[in-house]
Amino acid sequence: MNLTLKIWRQKGPSVKGKLVTYEVSDISTDMSFLEMLDVLNEKLILDGDDPVAFDHDCREGICGACGVVINGVAHGPLQTTTCQLHMRSFADGDTIDIEPWRAGAFPVVKDLVVDRSAFDRIIQAGGYITAPTGTAPDAHAVPIPKRDADHAFDAATCIGCGACVAACPNGSAMLFTAAKITHLGLLPQGEAERERRVVRMVEQMDSEGFGMCSNEGECEAVCPKEIPISNIARMNRDFLKAIVS
């Protein structure tokens, strides 16, 4: 495939950015979207130009690092991560717009790389449990109803990619924060800090400048791990319970 790419280029956080047009050729439909960007970057380096900065690590849909907005949609046309999106989702001759996550709480570092450390600080505020150290207990020592275990596991699949924030018109991080709170709050091991956790994590989320939820549902629609917004309702219930008790 031959493609035209319009890529957001920005040298640094306080420098004005702009879309720059590039042509790439001989792109295989089997390449991932990131491999297509690698082809562009190899060409830019050979030409003595500055390669496009983009974040990535696992390239297996696990680490959550690789998020970009493709043709106006977080992670592009499929509900998956950018590294798991393949060029067969595009057609020869297409023009593709590629931009970084757009959210006040995710400032641009360079080109397509944004600073998502606000998520780390939300986790630091309460995304942990207190457990005695020592040898690992038997797996069946603490019985957990299967429904709770499944629900907690589903919430734990959140990879912290930030697509939910990028897609939300309010730049809200509620789906991410709710997933982390649900994951720990549903298990007996997370019960001890349940009230403190929800209050601290929500307060940290607010202090980072993320917006509020207005039930748009855009977060759920782009989440590569299909985290449902019912987690947000659950977090709100937990938060209210914690502040009135």
We find the least distance from the C-beta atom of residue 190 to ligand SF4, in angstroms, to be 18
Is 213 a residue that touches ligand SF4 (CB under 6 A)?
Answer: no
Rounded to an integer, what distance in angstroms lies between the CA atom of residue 187 and that of residue 180? 12
Is 198 a residue that touches ligand SF4 (CB under 6 A)?
Answer: no
C-alpha dist (Å) from residue 118 to 86, 88, 95, 205, 208: 29, 34, 33, 8, 6
Residues near ligand FES (CB under 6 A), total: 13
- Applying CB under 6 A, which of residues 6, 59, 86, 200 lies at the interface with ligand FES? 59
Rounded to an integer, what distance in angstroms lies between the CA atom of residue 245 and that of residue 231? 21
The answer to whether 92 and 26 have CB atoms below 8 angstroms apart is: no
Query: Rounded to 5 degrees, what are φ and ψ at 233?
Result: -60, -40
Is 81 a residue that touches ligand FES (CB under 6 A)?
Answer: yes
Which of 30, 15, 4, 11 minimizes the C-alpha distance to 87?
30
Find the part of the chain contacting ligand FES (CB under 6 A) among 55-63, 68-76, 132-140, 231-239.
55-63
* H or E element at residue 34: helix 33-46
Rounded to an integer, what distance in angstroms lies between the CA atom of residue 178 and that of residue 174? 6
Is the CB of 37 or the CB of 163 nearer to ligand SF4?
A: 163
Is 227 a residue that touches ligand SF4 (CB under 6 A)?
Answer: yes
Is 205 a residue that touches ligand SF4 (CB under 6 A)?
Answer: no
Is 164 a residue that touches ligand FES (CB under 6 A)?
Answer: no
Rounded to an integer, what distance in angstroms lies between the CA atom of residue 74 and that of residue 209? 20
Residues 85-114, interacting with ligand FES (CB under 6 A): none
- Applying CB under 6 A, which of residues 19, 20, 62, 212 lies at the interface with ligand FES? 62
Is 223 a residue that touches ligand SF4 (CB under 6 A)?
Answer: yes
Which residues contribute to the site for ligand SF4 (CB under 6 A)? 158-164, 175-176, 179, 223-225, 227
